[in-house]
Amino acid sequence: MCGIVAYIGDKEAYPILIKGLKRLEYRGYDSSGVALINSGELNLYKKQGKVVELENFAEGKNITSNIGIGHTRWATHGPPNDINAHPHFSNSKNLAIIHNGIIENYASLKKELILRGHKFESDTDTEVLIHLIEDIQHVAKVNLVEAVRIALNEVIGAYAIVIISKENPDLMIAAKKSSPLVIGLGKTDEYFIASDATPIVEYTKNVIYLDDEQIAVISKGQELRLIDIKNQKVTPYIQELEVQLEAIEKGGYDHFMLKEIYEQPISIKNSMRGRIDANKGIVSLGGIRDYEQKIMNANRIIIVACGTSWHAGLVAEYLFEDFTRIPVEVEYASEFRYRNPIISENDVVIAISQSGETADTLAAIKLAKEKGATIIGICNVVGSTISRETHCGSYTHAGPEIGVASTKAFTGQVTVLSLMALSIAQKKGTITDSKFRQVLVELEDIPNKVERMLKSDKQVRYIAEIFKDATNFLYLGRGYNFPVALEGALKLKEISYIHAEGYPAAEMKHGPIALIDEEMPIVVIATKHGNYEKVVSNIEEVKARSGKIIAIVTEGDTEVKAIADYVIEIPATEDALSPLLTSIPLQLLSYHIAVMRGCNVDQPRNLAKSVTVE
């Protein structure tokens, strides 16, 4: 969480920083701030709230500068007020820092620094780091770069930082560990630094992704220098960015979330591109080819993920067990990493993450890797930390997802997991040829069906209007659509702040049924698949308690239509692929309800898109 951006060059820094912060706002929006050096002064402007508050605050102030740093915050240490907003000053106010991450041993460092006369203004761990750096500079009588290096050897935790100094107005120092940081190389002597490439892409495509414990020293008139915290020289590896500017703009939609929902026919196609040929009966995921034998012979597959990605993992549990007959466990990464799990060299761990930066998922991978398991990554962000930490993997290629509530990333993950399960099943011989081809043909046709599905938007909006003031929602599904019920409930909670629970339809009898009355909307996924008749019985049970049924049914259904209060139809498809269709009306339902309730759809309160703290 938290987004950082910095600029040094011959352009005006402030507009670049503000634009960059707006692009990074999805990472946190509790407060924002900038620090700029001009005419020998190090000026700091920061404000609680969104970047627009900062803009209003800074208007008319002295913001002319060619060097500056900016930060948008997701609060960890200390409430989201002006004082705790970044950047933070050192004791003398000669240095300023922006930081994404957590300095875990900040309390003991702070105690020591207070004894040495340091005065702190904020409650943040970040302020401690910049005081420490300055303290080392004076005590050890070393230059700023060396002080940063020594300090980073003393801190425990995660950081992506950029530091500027009033005394060295042409110098910028950046470093990272466990939090992402990318440096864009502009024209000669011009550098852009950010948490991800979105603030950089419109200026340059040439970037360097810093690795953990690396420090970049950028001085005007000199080549960028990379060292590690042990003071070893590192040769920079320059990569070319693939992301296009249009992909990170709203393109005429009111919100990123709506744009991303509507992009799904294309994003799902992109997840399959070059990997499937239904006519020839071919599925091939180049990224895992070298490890396929290992997966086929795995004792079990352990899936680790958080949030929506965990729901995609649950769908994959059904897919892999159904098709490949390999036992699957799906774990919350945050639980897995701390419960001393039993992992052997014959286990395969699949880590699913849109951002590729989620701290718990990353830690779960590291743990499983240490114990000898084979790690497969399914990430959306190309070059992300998780994609680099895994043995092999497949990108979802859904394109940048900016809305905090995940939509197209989820369907991209389910698509790639379907391809993976099919490919392994075919090689293992655990799926018949006719079934394999049947699912393949259906999968290739899913983007067209999603396109058709999106036409139900009007009906979904109508239903949203009726239930927008509800205080509770229940989502029910069975089999492949149980995880979709969880995902539907999560979407509604996240962006409309309505309490919602997802449940396996039959399990409803063991608790949630007590909540049902005539006020309670219940979304039931009742498509014509294996458990259809059972779901119909569950709907009857709800109706008997006067609950209001919103049913997702297969086109042409008559049975559920006769008993449900409202229905949304989806095109008929394979049971295993149905989550790719049933999830779409649930995304739209939460979207419309949130808009009708006046909620900030793309930046829901307290949430962040990239959760880089545990």
Catalog residues that contact ligand G6P under the rule CB under 6 A: 306-309, 353-355, 358, 361, 404, 406, 607, 609, 611
Minimum distance of ligand G6P from residue 406's CB (angstroms):
4
Minimum distance of ligand G6P from residue 168's CB (angstroms):
36
* Residue 409 or 564 having the CB closest to ligand G6P: 409
Minimum distance of ligand G6P from residue 425's CB (angstroms):
25
* Residue 26 or 480 having the CB closest to ligand G6P: 26
Minimum distance of ligand G6P from residue 356's CB (angstroms):
7
Which of helix, strand or coil describes residue 147? Answer: helix
Q: Which of 50, 110, 548, 609 is catalytic?
A: 609
CA separation for the pair 177, 448 (Å, rounded):
43
Could you tell me the sign of the dihedral formed by the alpha carbons of 605, 610, 612, 614, in that order?
positive
* Residue 303 or 306 having the CB closest to ligand G6P: 306
* Residue 358 or 456 having the CB closest to ligand G6P: 358
Minimum distance of ligand G6P from residue 407's CB (angstroms):
9
Minimum distance of ligand G6P from residue 310's CB (angstroms):
7
Residues 570, 555 contacting (CB under 8 angstroms): yes
Residues 427, 296 contacting (CB under 8 angstroms): yes
In this structure, the strands spanning 548-554 and 521-526 are: parallel
Which of helix, strand or coil describes residue 606? Answer: coil
Helix residue spans in 251-306 (DSSP H): 256-262, 264-272, 292-296
Return the residue matching tokens 């930066």: 357
* Residue 27 or 46 having the CB closest to ligand G6P: 27
Helices 307-324 and 482-496: crossing angle, nearest 10°? 170
Torsion of CA 152, 72, 352, 256, to 10 degrees: -160
Residues 173, 151 contacting (CB under 8 angstroms): no
Q: Concatenated DSSP letters for 461-488?
A: HHHHHHHTT-SEEEEEE-GGGHHHHHHH
Cβ-Cβ contacts under 8 Å for 284 (sequence gap 6 or more): 275, 276, 423
* Residue 226 or 607 having the CB closest to ligand G6P: 607
* Residue 144 or 359 having the CB closest to ligand G6P: 359
Q: Six-digit token pair at 78?
A: 């200390």
110 catalytic? Reply is: no
Cβ-Cβ contacts under 8 Å for 556 (sequence gap 6 or more): 569, 572
* Residue 516 or 580 having the CB closest to ligand G6P: 580
Please state, in angstroms and as integers, the Cα–Cα distance from residue 518 to each residue in 205, 548, 589, following that order: 56, 6, 20
Residues 13, 62 contacting (CB under 8 angstroms): no
Q: Six-digit token pair at 12?
A: 């005006």
Exposure on the CB side of residue 145, measured as CA atoms within 13 A: 17
CA separation for the pair 518, 520 (Å, rounded):
6
Residues 113, 128 contacting (CB under 8 angstroms): yes
Residue nearest to ligand G6P (CB): 307
Sort 319 into a burial class: Cβ within 10 Å, 0-12 / 13-18 / 19+: buried
Select from 367, 383, 391 the least CA-distant residue to 293. Answer: 391
379 catalytic? Reply is: no
Minimum distance of ligand G6P from residue 395's CB (angstroms):
13
Return the residue matching tokens 């880590």: 351
Q: How far is CA 564 from the centre of its chain?
A: 35
CA separation for the pair 372, 270 (Å, rounded):
32
Minimum distance of ligand G6P from residue 160's CB (angstroms):
16
Helices 579-596 and 482-496: crossing angle, nearest 10°? 20
Q: Six-digit token pair at 79?
A: 């409430």
Q: Six-digit token pair at 324?
A: 């490949």
* Residue 309 or 418 having the CB closest to ligand G6P: 309
* Residue 80 or 186 having the CB closest to ligand G6P: 80
Minimum distance of ligand G6P from residue 248's CB (angstroms):
16
Q: Which of 2, 379, 392, 599 is catalytic?
A: 2
Task: List, by residue number, the catalytic residues.
Answer: 2, 609
